Chains A and B, each alone.
Chain A
Amino acid sequence: MSGPTGDTIIRVDMTNQSVSIDPIPDEWKLLGGRGLSAKILLAECDPACDPLGPDNVLVMAPGVLSGTAAPTSGRISIGGKSPLTGGIKEANAGGNPSQDLMKLGHRAVVVKGQPADPEKRYALDVNADGVTVKEVPDCKGKWNYALIEHLAQSYSDTASFISIGPAGELKLKGASVACTDQEQERHPARHAARGGLGAVMGAKGLKYVAVDPGKTGVRQPADKKAFTGLCKQYTKDYLAGPQMFKTGTSTVVPVANMLNTFPYKNRTEGQSPDAETLDGHRIVESFETRGGGMHNCMTGCIVKCSNVVHDAEGNYKTSALEFETLTLLGANCAIQSWEDVADLDRLCDEVGLDTIETGAAIAVLMDAGEMDWGDAEGAKRLLHEIADGTELGKAIGNGAAAVGKRTKHHRVPTVRGQSVPAWDPRPLKATGVTYCTSPMGADHTAGLIVNPGLPEEEWVRASQEAQMVNALCDSSGFCQFLQPTLDDIRKFYGALYGEEISREQASDMAWQVLQDEWEFNRRAGWSEDGDQMPDCLKQDPIGPAKMVWDVSADLVVKAYERQGDREELFAMKASG
């Protein structure tokens, strides 16, 4: 009962386009995704390196359970030193590449070095016959959707792809890494978006990775009976429950607006007058006349939170149009129509950009008076400018901090250089503690706590527990929207490898991920001085209660001290 054996790590040196395939150390077998990425980066990447230089290391690591029959377990972590935050970064995506890599037994792809000629573009082919690097001059500059259409002509139907668009090739700090979904067309719609890891991939000259498992089956657990039983019970329980994400995250808009966490006009207000026209329920209503609907982004997903959005003629436009995108590219820019935001979302996916960072950057430009509030067509033109590499386009593509610097505007809502997501730390203090202390900078997926009534004495513990649960969730391959607990994850791990995983082991694994990441950041030069909210969130009040970020630095830094395990930690659901 040993579980999957013979797993490997692919190492690629882009300086000479060489490949080696090494066995994964046995002591790393319970590491995957974010945890494995952190371990590799701490061991193999100089934290002081130039994020866009040859010494940075790009990691693509599937979760531990990816490639098995566990439900909704196909998340992949893209890791590296972030050009945006200057610290370690893990950005997480769905789609099918994670499961396809794991079916082939590859626990990570580690990309190092840099080609001598920055104008050259390369691809990595991973399949049952081996791993090869090849030059792909015909792919240079292609937008993501056109790239995948092009690749579909020469690759098998069983292949999935990880790619970058022009923003990554231009090494812009808001660039994302795209993964193809499970649809027949393989839309490059699932993005590891935050932190500019698309720029790291671009700096390595790597345009795409093709993963073709062919007819390779799912990974077999050590304790097949226990594992299958867990899969069936977990699925049954989930489907019998309220399925809170069955209409997608976009339908959260009215609740978020009510809670003053639907930022408007560069976060000068917590509520938008356009909440009705940006509400995802409008998207759901459109399914009846235009087609589209809810689907699973990865094979084997039971959550199906991803919407497929069609245009007025019934043609596919984008997927998924999420709450964060409707907020940052919609309300925060005073853009009123969800259809305009859908256009912007498609453009971001095409060019390969984080919709949060891009929306925040455009809002800063508008707030600085260099563009009208609500100018949707102007925003679309800007996204084309990013792809074209104009000076203004590059500033937007480099994120809100770059636009703030260019315009000398004072209101720049970033932490560690990364834009604050929709979930606002002024009403949600515990989430703010996460933004300040997470190794990821301001990132709601690092530990979101939507509880405006949480007493002050609970903020630190709530943040730390959410950070721990999400760290292990992002290492497991489970999607945060499946909402697994530490208990769920350790039971699946136990059945996969045929050994008991205790609660103590599970919480220690989660804590170790944070420890590794904080250590990387310490070596990269981060200090507690940077654990600060920007002045605008301390000074600009929102809501009837005039809420500002007023949490003391002394309290925030307590999140670095382990608070101790309690029963609630193991029942806490991942949140993102």
Chain B
Amino acid sequence: MPQVKIPPPYQGPTEGRAAVEVRGDRVGGCLEDLCRQFPDFRPQLFDAAGGVHRFVTLFVNGEEIARDALDTPVGSDDQVEILAAIAGG
């Protein structure tokens, strides 16, 4: 099963889990399944219009993809990674 890697700032809804196995053959399907497993994750990932928040960056196997490229294919051994800029200052 594909895996979604969760950054530390987003691990509240996953109760500290850094990686979650999901069902799906597209990035969008994987993220939907993540939100199905952890409903509180949805507002962290998607805006009110259903798009991925602009402050979220998505990667598939280490390669950045566009936020709206949710139809990017994902294989069973692939890893989708969510990154969110977070720093002090």
Tell me whether A437 is interfacial, beta carbon within 8 Å. Answer: no
Given contacts A254-B53, A453-B17, A454-B11, contact A481 B43 (CB under 8 A): no
Tell me whether B66 is interfacial, beta carbon within 8 Å. Answer: no
Q: Are A254 and B55 in contact (CB under 8 A)?
A: yes
Q: Which of A51-59, A107-115, A441-449 contacts B (4 or more CB under 8 A)?
A: A441-449
B residues with CB within 8 A of A: 8-17, 43-44, 53-55, 57, 59, 64, 83-89
Which single residue of chain A is at the shortest CB-CB distance from B57?
Answer: A242
The 8 A CB mask of A407-435 against B (1 = contact, 0 = none) is: 00000000000000111000100000000
Q: Are B13 and A453 in contact (CB under 8 A)?
A: yes
Q: Are B12 and A252 in contact (CB under 8 A)?
A: no
Q: Are A455 and B87 in contact (CB under 8 A)?
A: no
Residues of A within 8 A of B83 (CB): 242, 244
Q: Are A244 and B53 in contact (CB under 8 A)?
A: no
Residues of A within 8 A of B8 (CB): 449-451, 453-454
The contact sample of 23 A-B pairs, CB cut-off 8 A, is: A242-B59, A244-B83, A244-B85, A244-B86, A248-B89, A250-B89, A251-B55, A254-B55, A255-B55, A255-B84, A255-B85, A256-B86, A305-B87, A448-B88, A450-B9, A450-B86, A451-B8, A452-B11, A453-B11, A453-B12, A480-B88, A481-B87, A575-B87
Give me 6 other A-B pairs in contact (C-beta within 8 A), A252-B89, A450-B9 excluded: A247-B85, A255-B85, A322-B88, A453-B11, A453-B13, A453-B15
Tell me whether A259 is interfacial, beta carbon within 8 Å. Answer: yes
| B-contacting residues, A454-485, CB 8 Å | 454-455, 458, 480-481
Other-chain contact of B89, A244, A322, A454 (Cβ < 8 Å): A322
Given contacts A255-B84, A448-B88, contact A242 B64 (CB under 8 A): yes
Residues of B within 8 A of A248 (CB): 89
Residues of B within 8 A of A242 (CB): 57, 59, 64, 83
Q: Are A244 and B9 in contact (CB under 8 A)?
A: no
Q: Are A454 and B16 in contact (CB under 8 A)?
A: yes
Tell me whether A169 is interfacial, beta carbon within 8 Å. Answer: no
Which single residue of chain B is at the shortest CB-CB distance from A453?
Answer: B11
Q: Which of B8, B13, B14, B59 has the most CB atoms of chain A within a 10 A radius of its CB?
A: B8
A residues with CB within 8 A of B: 242, 244-245, 247-252, 254-256, 258-259, 281, 305, 320, 322-325, 421-423, 427, 444-445, 448-455, 458, 480-481, 575-576
Which single residue of chain A is at the shortest CB-CB distance from B81?
Answer: A242
By Cβ-Cβ distance, the 8 closest A-B pairs, closest first, are: A249-B89, A453-B11, A322-B89, A451-B8, A452-B12, A453-B16, A244-B85, A453-B12
Residues of A within 8 A of B88 (CB): 249, 322-324, 421-423, 444-445, 448, 480, 575-576
Residues of A within 8 A of B87 (CB): 244-245, 249, 252, 305, 323, 481, 575-576
Q: Which of B14, B44, B89 has the most CB atoms of chain A within a 10 A radius of its CB?
A: B89
Residues of A within 8 A of B44 (CB): 258
Residues of A within 8 A of B64 (CB): 242
- Give A249 to B17 CA distance when docked, in angstroms: 26
- Give A320 to B88 CA distance when docked, in angstroms: 13
Which single residue of chain B is at the shortest CB-CB distance from A326?
Answer: B89
- Give A575 to B89 CA distance when docked, in angstroms: 10
Shortest beta-carbon distance from B46 to chain A in Å: 11
Shortest beta-carbon distance from A48 to chain B in Å: 32
Q: Are A255 and B86 in contact (CB under 8 A)?
A: yes
- Give A242 to B8 CA distance when docked, in angstroms: 16
Other-chain contact of A455, B9, B13, B16, B57 (Cβ < 8 Å): B16
Shortest beta-carbon distance from A479 to chain B in Å: 11
Residues of B within 8 A of A448 (CB): 88
Residues of B within 8 A of A245 (CB): 85, 87
Shortest beta-carbon distance from A419 to chain B in Å: 14
Residues of A within 8 A of B17 (CB): 453
Residues of A within 8 A of B84 (CB): 255
Residues of B within 8 A of A254 (CB): 53, 55
- Give A450 to B89 CA distance when docked, in angstroms: 13
Q: Are B14 and A252 in contact (CB under 8 A)?
A: no
Given contacts A242-B64, A451-B8, A451-B9, contact A258 B89 (CB under 8 A): no
Q: Which of A258, A322, A323, A576 has the most CB atoms of chain B within a 10 A radius of its CB?
A: A258
Q: Are A427 and B55 in contact (CB under 8 A)?
A: no
Residues of A within 8 A of B53 (CB): 254
Residues of B within 8 A of A325 (CB): 89
Residues of B within 8 A of A322 (CB): 88-89
- Give A323 to B85 CA distance when docked, in angstroms: 12
Which single residue of chain B is at the shortest CB-CB distance from A250?
Answer: B89
Residues of A within 8 A of B89 (CB): 248-250, 252, 305, 320, 322-325, 481, 576
- Give A281 to B53 CA distance when docked, in angstroms: 13
Shortest beta-carbon distance from B58 to chain A in Å: 11
Residues of B within 8 A of A323 (CB): 87-89
Which single residue of chain B is at the shortest CB-CB distance from A254?
Answer: B55
Q: Are A259 and B16 in contact (CB under 8 A)?
A: no
Shortest beta-carbon distance from A375 to chain B in Å: 25
Which single residue of chain A is at the shortest CB-CB distance from B14?
Answer: A453
- Give A323 to B83 CA distance when docked, in angstroms: 18
Which single residue of chain B is at the shortest CB-CB distance from A423?
Answer: B88
Q: Which of B8, B55, B84, B88 has the most CB atoms of chain A within a 10 A radius of its CB?
A: B88
Q: Are B9 and A259 in contact (CB under 8 A)?
A: yes
Given contacts A251-B55, A254-B55, A255-B55, contact A452 B9 (CB under 8 A): yes
Which single residue of chain A is at the shortest CB-CB distance from B6?
Answer: A453
Residues of A within 8 A of B85 (CB): 244-245, 247, 251-252, 255
Which single residue of chain B is at the shortest CB-CB distance from A253?
Answer: B55
- Give A445 to B87 CA distance when docked, in angstroms: 10
Which single residue of chain B is at the shortest CB-CB distance from A421?
Answer: B88
Shortest beta-carbon distance from A444 to chain B in Å: 5
